A and B are shown apart, each in its own frame.
Chain A
Amino acid sequence: MKTNKLEIMVCMGTGGIAAGGTEVLSAFESAIKKLKIPAKLKKGCSVHKVGCRGLCARDVLVDIIIKEKKSTYQYIKPDMVQRIVDEHIVGNQPVADWLATEDYHNFHEKQVKVVLSDCGNINPESIDAYFAVNGYEAAKKVLTLMSRQDVIEEIKRSGLRGRGGAGFPTGVKWEICGGVKNAQKYIICNADEGDPGAFMDRAIIEGNPHSVIEGMIIGAYAIGAGKGYVYIRAEYPLAVERLRKALEDAGKKNLLGKKILKTGFSFDIKVKLGAGAFVCGEETALIVSIEGQRGMPRAKPPFPVHSGLWGKPTVINNVETLANIPHIIRKGPDWFASFGTEKSRGTKVFALTGKVKNTGLIEVPMGISLKEIIYDIGGGMDKGRDFKAVQTGGPSGGCITADLLDINVDYESLAKVGSIVGSGGMVVLDDTDCMVSIARFFLEFTQVESCGKCVPCRIGTKRLLEILDRITAGKGKEGDIELLEELGKDIKASSLCGLGQTAPNPVLSTIKYFRPEYEAHIRDMKCPAAVCKELIEFTILEELCKGCGACVRACPANAIKGEKKKPHTLSSELCVKCGSCFDVCKFGAVKKE
C-alpha cells in the first residue's frame, strides 16, 4: 500500500454526512490549499472521504495520518478545522481536547474487521483506492487461475454461511446452482436491508462498494451467471450513488462487461431499486419485484437456484456474504475458518443499538460472547442502568436475558435460546424498557409490512398487535397471554414465507422470559418499567419537593400547582403523562410508577 506523507480522512457515510462531513471535508481542502505546499510534496498529500467506521454517534470523525502516525478526532465541526490544521498539521501538535477518547479505541479493539476492514480507510468513490488495498486481485486470480469447481470448493471449505439471516452455506448454494444446466443464470445481491435499526449492508456499500462487486464477479464465475442484479432499497440514496459510480468505474477497467480481463468470461451488473417493501428482502418476493410484479413471496420449492429470476437458475446472496468472498479467495479458506466456531465461521457485522454507551456498527468473530459485545465493545450500560435483555435478529428475532449473557453469538447458540443471528440487529435493553412494548413495536412493524398474501400473516399479526395494544393500554384480559402464545405458534406454523413464520418471535420470546411483566400489565394494571402511558401515574413526593417550579413550567397540561418554595401537587385528572415533570425535576421528587 502506498503511504502518503499526509492523509486526512473524513467520515462520510450517511451518518458522517448528516453530522456535517461534507462541510468538514471542504474546510480541510481549503485550509490545506491555503498552506501553499510545494508541488513536489503535494503528491504525498491527500484529503478524502471514507465510509462508515462504526461509531456514528461521534461523527464527524476525522483521521489524520502524518508519516504513518494516525490520530483520530471526534465530533468535528467545520469551524474546528483551521485549528487542527494550524496546530496538528503545521505545528505537529495534535489538538488533544478533540482527539477521540479512550472508549473510541476500546470500541474498535475487540473487533475483528474483515468485510469492514477497508470501510473507513479508503475512498469508496475511487476504484484506485480499492486497487491500492489489493482490490480485484481475488477476481483476477479466480478468472485466470481457478476453475469454477475450485472456487466453489474454496468457499465451501471456508464455511461461509449466508449473512442475510438464514445462514445457508454459501458454497453449497453456489454448487447446486452451478450444477444446474442452463445457458442463462443470474446472481443477485440482496441489498434490501429492512430490519428496523439495521444498517450493516448500507455501511458496506457506502464504505466499500467494490468489495461487493468483486464478490459478485467471483460468484457469477463460480455458478456460470452472465448477468447480475443488485436489488437495493431506494431509501439508501448514498449507497446507490456510490454503487453506481463503482459499477461504472469497474466497467471502464474491464472488470465488468464482455470478456472480463481478456478472459472468456463476460458478466454485467444492473442496479434495481426496491420500492420500499420490507418483504422484498425475501428472495422469492425480491425476484418477482425485479420482474416488475408486486413483491409477494411464493411457495418453495422450486428454489431460486433451480428456477429463479425469469424462471432461470439464480443465486441470491446478501451484501455482507458477498463482501466476504474476495477476502476468502485472497487469504484462503483456512484463514477465514480460523475465525468463529465450528459451525459458524468467520466474522459477523452487527448493528449494536439501544442502551449501551457506544452504539454503532461492529464486526466481531462468530462465537464471541454477548457479554464481550455489550461490556467491552459497547462500553457497558448507558447511564449505569441495569441490563435487562438484548434483542437480536430484529423483527424475526427474540430476546436474550441477563443469565444468558455468556452465550456465544453464533447461529446455533442463539437459535438454542429462542433467538436468531438474523441479519445482525442487536438492541440492548435496560430496566426502563417495557418488554410488552418492545414486542408491540416489532409487531407493529411486521404487521404493516406483511405483503397481505397469506391469511395467518395478514390477519394473524394484526390480531397479535391488537391484543398487545390492549395489554399496554391496561385493557388486557385473563387469557390474553395464552391467546398470544397460541395464535403466535399457529402463525409460525402456517404462514407462507419467512416474514410470517418469524413475526411472532418477539412476542413469544418476551412471554417466555418476561411472563410476569405481561401478567403485571393485565392483573395489576402496572407497567413495571413505567413505560406504558395508560398504566403509569406521576406523583410529587412532598418530602423531596423544593418548590422550585421547574415542573410547573414544564407541564403542558397545567396539572401541577403550588406556591414557590413549598411542595407542589399534581392533579392526576389533568395529567397527560408526558413525563416532562419527571425529566426536569432535579431532586427526584417526581415519582413515576
Chain B
Amino acid sequence: MINVTIDGIKTSVHRDTSVLDAAKQCDITIPTLCHHPKLTPYGGCRLCIVEIKGINRPVTACTTPVSEGMEVTTSSPVLEKLRRTTLELILSDHPNDCMVCEKAGDCTLQELAYFYGIKENRFAGERRVYEKRDGNPLIERDMEKCILCNKCVRVCDEVQGVSAIDIAYRGFRSKVCPPYERDLDCEFCGQCIRVCPTGALTGRMWSLKGRQKDIREVDTICPYCGCGCNITLDIRKNEIVRVTSKEDTINEGWLCSKGTFGYKFLNDPARLTKPLIKYKGKFRESTWEEALGLVAKKLLKTKEKHGPDSIAGLASARCTSEENYLFQKFMRAVIKTNNVDHCARL
C-alpha cells in the first residue's frame, strides 16, 4: 500500500492506483471529460490536472500513478483558472445548441460549463463545421459536438476489438472518423454512444423521443442470448425509448448491437403476442393452454407410433443455460431420446 495525502486527507491506496482514483476513494471529485475507468488513461482533456508537491507543473491525475508520500492538491486558484480556460476553449469550438441536444441534462460538458459558470467566452472564434452526415442507420454522429476525448476510439479498440474509428487529420482539424471518412460500417455495438460525454454520438432510434430527465428506468435482462446481460430500459409514455446498461453489472455496462438496438419489435404491430395454430393451411389465434396441449398430444402420439428416437430436439442459443439444461432433460427423461442438439453446433 502507498501512503498519499490528497487535499490534506491522508489515505493509503494500492500500488499502481492513479491519483484520480485515489482521490475518488477519498470522495474527492476531480473534473474530467476523457477518462473512463475501464479504458487506458488518455490525458487529453487536461481538466483533471492537479498539483503535486515537488513537481513544478500541473500533471493530469488520470495518468499519474501515486507514489509514497505524495502530496496532492486537487483544487487551487491556479488549477481552477487553467480548468476554466480549457473549458472555455472546448466550448468555443462547440455548437451552443443545448436546448435541442439529445444529451442535454446528461452531458458532462454541459454540467462542467454550469459549475464553472461559463457564460461569456473570451476565445470565440472559428468552429468546426461539417456538412456531411454519416449514412449509417443506427448511430447519429454529430462531429461538431465532438470534443476529441477519444473514449469512443478507445472503447472500440480496447473493449470491442474492432477499431472502426480513429482520429484523422491534425490540430484544429482533428476529427474522429472511420477510414477515409466513409460512412460508419461496423458491428454497431453502440459502445461508443455509451461512453460519449457529449451529444456527439447518440442513437438514431431515440432521437427526439425523450431526454434522460423524461424517462423511467426499468432494470431487466437482455432476452437475446444466453449471456444474460443486465440492461436498463429507458421508458417514456410506456414506450421503450432506448436501452442502456449500468456499469456495476455482470456485463460491466457493455452491450452488443442486439442488446442496444434490437428492441423495436416490442412495439411493432406485426409482433406475435399469442400462439398461432395452423388449421387447414391457415393460422388462427389460440391460447397457450391449447397450443402446448396440442404439441404434447402430437409428441406422445408420435412417440407411441414410431418410438422415442423418431423425435429430435434442437435448442436455441438465445436460451439461457438453465433453459437449455431443462430442454435436454425433457428430451432425455420425458421423450426418452438422446436426439438433442443446439443451433450453435450447426
Contact = CB atoms under 8 A, between A and B. Distances in A.
A449 B170 contact: yes
A332 B93 CA distance: 56
B46 A458 contact: no
B92 A456 contact: no
A453 interface: yes
A569 B67 CA distance: 75
A161 B182 CA distance: 47
B85 A456 contact: yes
B32 to A, nearest CB: 12
**Which secondary structure dominates where chain B touches chain A?**
loop
Interface string A431-447: 00000000000000001
Interface of B: 41-46, 49, 57-60, 63-65, 78, 81-82, 85-86, 89-90, 92-93, 122-123, 125-126, 147-148, 150, 166-167, 169-174
Interface of A: 277, 279, 294, 296, 298-299, 301, 447-456, 458-463, 466, 483, 486-487, 490, 493-496
B170 A466 contact: no
B174 A452 contact: yes
A455 B64 contact: no
Given A299-B59, A483-B122, A447 B167 contact: no
A490 B148 contact: no
B171 A448 contact: yes
A463 B123 contact: yes
A448 B170 contact: yes
Contact of B86 (A296, A456, A466, A486): A456
Contacts of A451: 170-171, 174
Contacts of B86: 455-456, 490, 494
B66 to A, nearest CB: 12
A34 to B, nearest CB: 54
A461 B148 contact: no
Given A450-B171, A453-B167, 18 more contacts: A277-B170, A279-B170, A294-B166, A296-B167, A301-B65, A451-B170, A456-B85, A458-B148, A459-B90, A459-B123, A459-B172, A462-B126, A463-B89, A463-B123, A486-B85, A490-B85, A493-B57, A496-B60
Contacts of B174: 451-452, 458
Nearest to B94: A459
A447 B82 contact: no
A456 B172 CA distance: 11
Contacts of A296: 167
Nearest to A492: B57
Contacts of A495: 46
A450 B123 contact: no
Contacts of A459: 89-90, 92-93, 123, 172
A27 to B, nearest CB: 44
Contacts of B57: 493
16 contacts: A299-B41, A299-B59, A301-B64, A449-B171, A451-B171, A451-B174, A452-B170, A453-B44, A454-B44, A456-B89, A461-B171, A483-B122, A487-B122, A487-B123, A490-B85, A496-B43
A450 B169 CA distance: 10
Nearest to A497: B43
B140 to A, nearest CB: 22
Contact of B148 (A301, A452, A463, A466): A452
Given A299-B43, A466-B126, A483-B122, A447 B172 contact: yes
A454 B46 contact: yes
Contacts of A301: 64-65
Nearest to A298: B43
A452 B167 contact: yes
Contacts of A487: 85, 122-123
